[in-house]
């Protein structure tokens, strides 16, 4: 079977297992209309009715029961074989292709990649570092296995997104510079200062443009950088002020190299999100790394809501 047909059977397995489109959609991180569409296509491809939908839920036709018996056995055997390989640490080959933003790389990926590499040293890792739109484009073209990106963005219909972490962004300035005596600024005052930030090609630019728009402020960095890791060195050099993810600023804040500038009432919060193409199946190595990322996501929150 090709990968698309396999995906149809995978969805059928969960719908038939739970006898519910809503439960299957939750398990698969999808939605009911998408699952209905897949089920209709599968029935059309097989030329028979597999399930009957009613107010009481879903029941399988005799043909559906027969198919589920075969699919359940095959699917379970595949999962068990995969689990055995992963748990035994027998991934001695394979390649994982990941698209990631700079923020996602520092926020969640590096820690998991180090752990994964220690456990599976012979798996090749290909990391493409760039903007969220670039990672989404690469995933849509099948150039990467999955992406870890920064919100906000518009999720394509055939993509599945899984939040991994939340984080705040802080407005910071270097200590012992012309900006070190700023106690607090209002959103309307930000334009009076030289700002360092990502340019118009990025979703970060769109995020801040939207955040300042209600205050009548045009978000237009005076120094336009290509990646988030370029912002901190320029701030430390006294070239201006800028927003940094809290986890990227934490060490410098402790050491006193930079200081936070409160900008009430703004407390920008964003998310790091795992993106997958639902029409593509991950290889065993990529699925192992994905599981590692998901298993650690409960601890990956950088937001203090106190």
Q: Which whole number is the average pLDDT over 280-300?
A: 81
pLDDT band for position 202 (50/70/90)? Answer: confident
Q: What tokens were used for 18? A: 């739970």
- Region of poorest pLDDT, from 71-85, 105-119, 241-255: 71-85
Residue 213 CA to residue 211 CA, distance in Å, equals 6
**Average confidence score pLDDT of the chain:** 87
89 in the Ramachandran plot: left (φ > 0), alpha (ψ -120 to 50) or beta?
left
212-242: buried (b, 16+ CB within 10 Å) or exposed (e) per residue? beeeebebebebbbeebebbbebbbebbbbb
The pLDDT value recorded for residue 303 is 46
Q: Which CATH number fits domain 3-87: 1.10.3720.10, 3.40.50.880, 2.170.140.10, 1.10.10.10?
A: 1.10.10.10
Closest residue by Cα to residue 89 from 286, 283, 288: 288
End-to-end CA distance of the chain: 52
The pLDDT value recorded for residue 83 is 67
CB-based contact 302:168 (threshold 8 Å):
yes
Sign of CA dihedral 54, 12, 79, 29: negative
Q: Which whole number is the average pLDDT over 55-84?
A: 83
The pLDDT value recorded for residue 228 is 86
Confirm whether pTM is higher than 0.75: no
Fold classified for 95-165+271-299: D-Maltodextrin-Binding Protein; domain 2 (3.40.190)
- Strand segments (E) across the chain: 51-54, 57-60, 95-100, 124-129, 146-150, 159-174, 196-198, 223-225, 242-245, 258-260, 269-277
Q: What tokens were used for 116? A: 């994964």
Fold classified for 168-268: D-Maltodextrin-Binding Protein; domain 2 (3.40.190)
């Amino acid at each position: 079977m090709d990968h698309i047909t396999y995906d149809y059977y995978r969805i059928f397995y969960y719908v038939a297992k739970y006898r519910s489109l809503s439960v299957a959609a939750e398990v698969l991180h999808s939605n009911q209309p998408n699952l209905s569409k897949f089920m209709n296509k599968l029935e059309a491809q097989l030329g028979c009715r597999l399930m009957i939908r009613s107010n009481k839920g879903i029941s399988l036709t005799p043909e559906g029961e027969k198919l589920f018996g075969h699919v359940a056995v095959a699917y379970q055997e595949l999962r068990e074989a995969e689990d055995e390989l992963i748990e035994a640490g027998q991934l001695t080959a394979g390649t994982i292709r990941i698209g990631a933003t700079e923020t996602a790389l520092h926020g969640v990926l590096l820690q998991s990649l180090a752990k994964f590499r220690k456990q599976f040293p012979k798996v090749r890792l290909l990391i493409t570092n760039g903007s969220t739109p670039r990672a989404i484009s690469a995933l849509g073209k099948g150039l990467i296995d999955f992406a870890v990106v920064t919100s906000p963005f518009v999720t394509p219909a055939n993509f599945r997104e899984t939040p991994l972490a939340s984080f705040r962004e802080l407005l910071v300035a270097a200590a012992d510079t012309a900006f070190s005596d700023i106690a607090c600024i209002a959103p309307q005052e930000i334009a009076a200062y030289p700002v360092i930030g990502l340019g118009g090609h990025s979703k970060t630019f769109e995020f801040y443009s939207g955040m300042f728009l209600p205050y009548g402020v045009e978000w237009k960095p005076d120094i336009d950088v290509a990646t988030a890791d370029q912002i901190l060195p320029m701030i430390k050099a006294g070239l201006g002020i800028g927003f940094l993810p809290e986890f990227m600023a934490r060490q410098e804040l402790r050491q006193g190299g930079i200081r936070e500038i409160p900008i009430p009432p703004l407390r920008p919060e964003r998310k790091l999100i795992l993106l997958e193409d639902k029409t593509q199946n991950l290889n065993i190595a990529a699925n192992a790394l994905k599981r590692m990322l998901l298993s650690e996501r409960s601890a990956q929150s950088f937001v203090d809501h106190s």
